[in-house]
A and B are shown apart, each in its own frame.
Chain A
Amino acid sequence: MSKIMEWVDERLPVTELLKSQATEYPTPKNLNYWWNFGSLALLVLIIMIATGLFLAMHYKADANQSFDVVEHIMRDVNFGWLLRYAHANGASFFFLVVYVHILRGMYYGSYRKPREILWWFGIIIFFMMMGTAFMGYVLPWGQMSYWGAAVITNLMSAIPVIGEELVIWIWGGFSVGDPTLNRFFALHFLLPLVIFGVVILHLWALHAVHSNNPDGIDVHDEKDTLPFHPYYTVKDLYGYGVFMIVFCVFVFYAPNFFLEPDNYIPANPMQTPAHIVPEWYFLPFYAILRSIDFLGSFSKLAGVLAMVGAIMILFILPFLDRSPVRSFRYRPLSRQLFWIFVVDCVVLGWVGYNPADAAIFNGALPLIVVGRTCTAIYFGYFFVLWAITAFDIEKHQPVPKSI
């Protein structure tokens, strides 16, 4: 065996790569469980690609057939129900895991110098995930598929001058239809492979600058680190076990928990469901989109810009945060801001879930007002974080000298 590896290593240094980048890869010894979510995201990506590939072998992209063929997968194909439920729930869990992963990066300052490019690759992956999830949701061709596609593609029409033409180009017709479904299937198949490629870039960028850690301080020497194997391989595997238990509970016992009943009605271009909701993972952004309705004819474009801006602003986060300390563990003000931000995102999600004209407290408080306030808080987080760090308003607590 070792003779064979020697032969291979002379031609392709596999052993050296595994040693330096995996088994003996130095990893900060103080990583907590929040650091499991990166490897969990990779696990879900692999589950999605595997189940997706086999679903594609049974699926047909055709406006007249797709709805029926998904039911065919559910009822006739051997383990088709498992493939589809794992894939559909996998999408929800992918976002759950990635949201935790992003928030972990925000809390412990993992986006700060020198990890900006690593952070940017992450946002690009997140963007592509949203596109992939959206197009995948269209494929069963139910009412929510159809009208979700109609609403989201119509966002493009807000772009001045070329918007209307652009939407027709994306549709391949004058409304969402068969050509749209076909191209979405093609792209839904392609994008995950592109995501996989960017994940490799993400890991390359990670291994170039190494992991951040809960203290947010630089690693000094070997005493601060542990070899990745077996310390973190076993910890990641433990995380996989816990994750799979939760995932399987949903796949086997509540497979329709995240799905909308309306999507079991075949797509009908002549009738919009009374209440369109996107999947939960888009709800905060959907709420931001809807909250801009006070600018007259400029509202639509402004809403779209706000929604896109809500993600785009993450790109400049590394430059907004001016604190000398990375980790919020030692930044009391930032820490409070962070939790306000998290709660704000949850409230935005709840606003997005409810009908646009809903109100609470017996109609005294229209939800649109809540949505506007939360949108302001969402963007306010980035502004205030910049303000308290740029003007030295925040006094950080003492930071440990070494891990």
Chain B
Amino acid sequence: MVTESDESRRDFLTLATGAVGAAGVAGAAWPFVKSWSPSADVLSQATTEVDVSGLAPGQMITVPWQGKPVFVLRRTPAQIEAARKADGETLPDPAKDADRTKKPEYLVVLALCTHLGCVPQPIGTGNFGGFLCPCHGSHYDTSGRIRQGPAPKNLPVPHYEFKDEKTLVIGKV
């Protein structure tokens, strides 16, 4: 005969078995899930060295870093001034131009629109003398800050250092 205590005992055992099974499946799933994360060879492409000595004022190059494009712009005094002037305005993602550059002359930004990751067009295409993203019409200024359009954030500044006068190293060494 099945008593009430037997039934609750059985319920408990069913529940416990289910819980152990679920934990086991979750544990076994982890290696599968983790296999999608960047592999060691992808992680190893962490830095890019760029020779900036050939850049004329106003000239911009696009360099690959971790498979992503990075804009390196040698800014003209006018472009620097435009960026500094906008410091005082109300910006969607407030940031001082001085905090976004290590040397005012060089702007180094990740060239991926913060909306949906398109590559913005080169300097001078946007409404604020900066970059226009062609996909959904986001305008960035000469400091790579978002000024107009759907993108929520400024173009990110990757970690970079000047190894010497002419060598720029993007990424953490």
Binding site for B on A (CB under 8 A): 147, 150-155, 157, 168-175, 177, 179, 183, 269-276, 290, 292-293, 296-300, 303, 355-357
Contact A170 B66 (CB under 8 A): no
The interface residues of chain A lying within 8 Å CB-to-CB of B67 are 173-175, 177, 269
- Return B119 CB to nearest CB of chain A, in Å: 4
Is A296 touching B68 in the complex (CB atoms < 8 A)? no
Interface size class of B (residues with CB under 8 A): 20 to 34
Does A299 lie within 8 Å of B134, measured CB to CB?
A: no
Residues of A within 8 A of B119 (CB): 270-272
Q: Do the beta carbons of A270 and B62 come within 8 Å of each other?
A: yes
CB proximity to A under 8 Å, residues B76-118: 92-93, 112, 115-118
From the candidates B36, B149, B153, name the one contacting A170 in the complex (CB within 8 A): B36
Q: How far is the CB of A306 from chain B (nearest CB, A)?
A: 12
Select from chain A the residue with minimum beta-carbon distance to B120: A272
Query: CA–CA, A154 to B136, complex, Å?
Result: 13
Q: Which residues of B contact A297 (CB under 8 A)?
A: 92-93, 152-153
B38, B112, B115, B151: the one contacting A172 at CB < 8 Å is: B38
Query: Does B3 belong to the interface (CB within 8 Å)?
Result: no
A151 lies within 8 A of B118 (CB): yes
CB distance B150 to A293 under 8 Å?
A: yes
Which residues of chain B have a CB within 8 Å of any CB of chain A?
Answer: 36-39, 42, 62, 64, 66-69, 92-93, 112, 115-121, 133-137, 149-153
Rounded to whole angstroms, the CA-CA distance of A52 and B115 in the bound complex is 33
For residue B153, which residues in chain A have a CB less than 8 angstroms away from its CB? 297
In the complex the two chains form, what is the Cα distance from A355 to B112 in whole Å?
Answer: 19
Q: What number of residue pairs across chains A and B have CB atoms under 8 A from each other?
A: 99
Q: Tell me which residues across on chain B come within 8 A of A274, comparing CB atoms.
A: 121, 134
Cross-chain contact of A296 among B64, B92, B118 (Cβ < 8 A): B92
Chain B min CB distance to A40 (Å): 34
Interface CB pairs A-B, < 8 A, 29: A150-B116, A150-B118, A151-B135, A154-B116, A168-B38, A169-B36, A172-B37, A172-B38, A173-B42, A173-B66, A173-B67, A174-B42, A175-B66, A175-B67, A175-B68, A179-B38, A273-B134, A274-B121, A274-B134, A276-B134, A290-B136, A290-B150, A293-B150, A297-B93, A300-B116, A300-B150, A300-B151, A355-B137, A356-B137
Q: Is the CB of B38 within 8 A of A173?
A: yes
Task: Choose among A152, A170, A290 the residue with the greatest number of B CB atoms under 10 Å from its CB.
Answer: A290
Report if A172-B42 is in contact (Cβ < 8 Å); known contacts: A269-B67, A272-B119: yes
Q: How distant is the Cα of A271 from the Cα of B111 in the complex, in angstroms? A: 10
Of the candidates B39, B64, B112, B136, the one whose C-beta lies within 8 Å of that of A356 is B136
A154 and B38 contacting across the interface, CB-CB below 8 Å: no
CA distance A123 to B33 in the complex (A): 26
Complex CA–CA separation, A170 to B121 (angstroms): 26
- Say yes or no: B68 contacts A147, CB within 8 Å: no
CB neighbours of B134 from chain A (8 A) = 272-276, 355
Interfacial chain A residues near B62, Cβ < 8 Å: 270-271
Q: Are A269 and B64 in contact (CB under 8 A)?
A: yes
Of A152, A173, A271, most B-chain CB atoms within 10 Å: A173
A-B interface, 6 closest residue pairs, ranked by CB to CB distance from nearest = A154-B117, A293-B150, A174-B66, A297-B152, A356-B137, A175-B67
